[in-house]
């Protein structure tokens, strides 16, 4: 299962999505220095009224996934489907419909808003692009402002007159006017003060409950997303290493990398589960390690991890994990503690495996 078993209509599905970038060097970029597999065989399902979180350190491919979903980039191979229709060969009339139904809110609330445009114009611009009449535009802008908790009078102001959190509300309002069914939120709160982050996240959650929208919620910080996510996908160097129920993966991580993200997100002094400190840096995307690409940083690395790339495979609790600590026999039979190096049980949080 790619969706943690949660029911609901499928909005977007990625099937073995691959995006490669050829890195050029030399005079006038004449020589290929290598190929970055920014997104490497990634499959997932996003359902109605669901938040699909994508987490992982910088450079693991989160924004590339976002840009593929938003059809701002084309796939190298694989498929992304919107309500069953492939984005790659979508007729232009359907692409227009897609661009209405799938919106984005980006990380930087300063850069994302045109400083010379008044807020009313910024929020109403997508409606203008999609040919809405002036009367309906005004109504939808007012409705969007209400949804994000801003007063109608802000329409005559300019972006610089607002704080970071308010600007992000403006960005969310702009994304809402076309009544999308999916919003891609790429690090929506990373640039905000910690005190403001939860306000914006709570607002997003309220909007989801009210409008039954789905979100792709991207973050390098698990702490920011865990409370409002239904499904979580953990990425490492272009690959999904764990995928499934967000609550389960945060409480009982399966992959050592997920465990280290959980450890990093846990406030000091709280009850430890399976905590793995994150060590070292992410390797260069141009020199992906052999076997499991996490093995140089993994305290449980075995010989097989250096040689064989683990496949993402189903666990008995409906999640998916790509890790040699979970051999097929255990993964497919029943829920036991995973076996570590030399056959020793690993110090996993109770119930994991
Ligand atoms: N247009 C591009 N040309 C070449 N390489 C690219 C391009 N876009 C992304 N990459 C590379 O692809 C990999 C994934 O990048 P991406 O921006 O998707 O990561 P990310 O997870 O969003 O990182 P961050 O948390 O820093 O935003 C990185 O190695 C990056 O350098
Ligand atoms: Mg990014």
The residue whose C-alpha atom lies closest to atom 18 belonging to ligand 1 is: 61
How many whole angstroms from 134 Cα to the centroid of ligand 2?
35
pLDDT tens by residue, 13-23: 999 999 999 98
Cβ < 6 Å from ligand 1: which residues? Answer: 21, 23, 36, 38, 56, 58-64, 220, 285
Q: Which ligand is nearest to the CA of 22?
A: 1
Tell which residue, 270, 187, 175, 209, has the closest CA to residue 49.
209
Inter-axis angle of helices 119-129 and 134-147, nearest 10: 120
Question: What tokens does 253 get?
Answer: 């991580």
CA-closest candidate to residue 21, choices 81, 75, 70 = 75
Query: Which of 18, 39, 61, 286, when mutated, tests ligand 1's pocket best, judged by the most ligand atoms within 8 Å of its CB?
Result: 61
CB 348 within 8 A of CB 337: yes
| Averaged pLDDT in 10-residue chunks for the chain of 353 residues | 60 97 80 88 96 96 97 97 95 94 86 90 95 95 96 95 93 96 95 90 95 96 90 97 94 92 81 73 88 94 94 91 79 42 41 33
| Predicted local distance difference test score (pLDDT) of residue 71 | 96
Domain ranges for the chain: 10-251, 279-353
Q: Any idea which ligand is nearest the CA of 34? A: 1
Strand partners, 236: 239
Q: How far is the CA of 333 from the centre of ligand 2 (A)?
A: 37
Largest CA distance in the chain: 70
Cα–Cα distance, 232 to 348 (Å, whole number): 19
pLDDT digits (tens, 9 = 90+) for 151-200: 999 999 999 999 999 999 999 999 999 999 999 999 999 888 888 999 99
Token pair recorded at residue 347? 């110090």
Assigned CATH for 10-251: 3.40.50.300
Token digits for 124? 């109403």
Q: What is the model's pLDDT at position 1?
A: 45
Q: In angstroms, what CA-CA distances link 214 with 39, 53, 166, 204, 266?
A: 22, 11, 22, 10, 26
Contact assessment for residue 239 and residue 293, using Cβ atoms and an 8 Å cutoff: yes
Atom 12 (ligand 1) nearest CA: 38
- Atom 8 of ligand 1: nearest residue by CA position: 64
Task: Report the pLDDT value the prediction gives residue 285, as an integer from 0 to 100.
Answer: 85
Hey, what are 117's tokens? 């445009």
pTM greater than 0.85: yes
What per-residue confidence (pLDDT) applies to 350?
Answer: 34
Q: Which ligand has the minimum distance to the alpha carbon of residue 237?
A: 1
Pairwise CA distance, residues 13 & 26, whole Å? 38
């Amino acid at each position: 299962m790619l969706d943690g078993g949660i029911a609901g209509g499928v909005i977007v599905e990625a099937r073995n999505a691959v995006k490669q970038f050829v890195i050029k060097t030399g005079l006038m970029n004449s020589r290929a220095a290598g190929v970055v597999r920014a997104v490497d065989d990634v499959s997932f399902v996003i359902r109605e009224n669901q938040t699909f979180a994508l987490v992982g350190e910088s450079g693991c491919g989160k924004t590339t996934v976002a840009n593929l979903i938003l059809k701002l980039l084309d796939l190298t191979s694989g498929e992304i489907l919107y309500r069953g229709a492939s984005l790659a060969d979508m007729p232009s009339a359907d692409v227009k419909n897609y661009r209405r139904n799938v919106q984005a809110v980006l990380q930087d609330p300063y850069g994302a808003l045109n400083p010379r445009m008044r807020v009313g114009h910024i929020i109403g611009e997508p409606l203008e692009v999609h040919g809405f009449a002036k009367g309906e535009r005004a109504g939808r802008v007012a409705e969007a402002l209400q949804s994000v908790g801003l007063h109608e009078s802000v329409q005559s102001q300019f972006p610089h007159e607002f704080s970071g959190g308010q600007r992000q509300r403006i960005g969310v309002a702009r994304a809402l006017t076309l009544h999308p069914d999916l919003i891609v939120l790429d690090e929506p709160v990373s640039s905000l003060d910690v005190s403001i982050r939860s306000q914006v996240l709570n607002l997003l959650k309220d909007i989801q409950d009210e409008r039954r929208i789905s979100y792709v919620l991207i973050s390098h910080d698990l702490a920011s997303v865990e409370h409002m996510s239904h499904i979580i996908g953990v990425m490492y160097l272009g690959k999904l290493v764990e995928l499934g129920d967000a609550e389960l993966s945060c409480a009982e991580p399966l992959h050592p990398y997920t465990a280290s993200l959980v450890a990093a997100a846990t406030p000091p002094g709280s009850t430890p589960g399976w905590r793995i400190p994150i060590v070292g840096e992410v390797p260069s995307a141009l020199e992906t390690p052999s076997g499991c690409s996490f093995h140089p940083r993994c305290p449980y690395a075995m010989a097989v991890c250096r040689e064989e790339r683990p496949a993402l495979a189903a666990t008995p609790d409906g999640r998916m994990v790509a890790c040699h600590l979970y051999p097929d026999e255990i993964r497919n039979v029943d829920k036991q503690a995973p076996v570590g190096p030399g056959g020793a049980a690993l110090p996993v949080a109770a119930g994991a495996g």
